[in-house]
Amino acid sequence: MKKINESFTCIHCGKEISQAVKTCRNHCPYCFVSLHVDGDIPGDRNTGCKGKMYPTMYEIKNGQMKILFQCQKCGKLHRNKRADDDEVENLDTYIKKYKETLY
């Protein structure tokens, strides 16, 4: 299966987002909003939903951060590994703000 790793314009903040270095990126490293484009495998671009996904929480295990996203349209939950260039210092603030959007 071919994985797609491409640059994109963030659907939330409008910033131009470059390709990820180590994986396939589907969330903005600044505001953390993404578009529900992947199915079960990161980079497969195998869903037709196209809803906005927002971070709802994160966890750190074995020194690695994983962020849980929820699709506003279909409700799907999906975990993503933190990318090296994600600006996580504002993640808690964004999660609180986005929870108002989701619920």
In whole angstroms, what is the distance from residue 45 CA to residue 4 CA?
7
Does some domain include residue 1? no
What is the pLDDT at residue 4?
A: 66
Scanning 13-56, the segments in alpha helix (DSSP H) are: none
State the residue range of the domain holding 80.
Answer: 8-102
Is the model's pLDDT at 1 over the cut of 60?
Answer: no
* Residue 70 CA to its chain's centroid (Å): 9
pLDDT of residue 45: 77
Look at residue 71 and tell me if it is in a domain. yes
Is 57 within 8 Å of 38 (Cβ atoms)?
no
pTM score: 0.85
19 occurs within a structural domain: yes
Helix, coil or strand: residue 71: strand
Type of residue numbered 1? M
pLDDT in tens, 6-48: 788 999 999 998 877 666 777 899 999 998 988 877 777 778 8
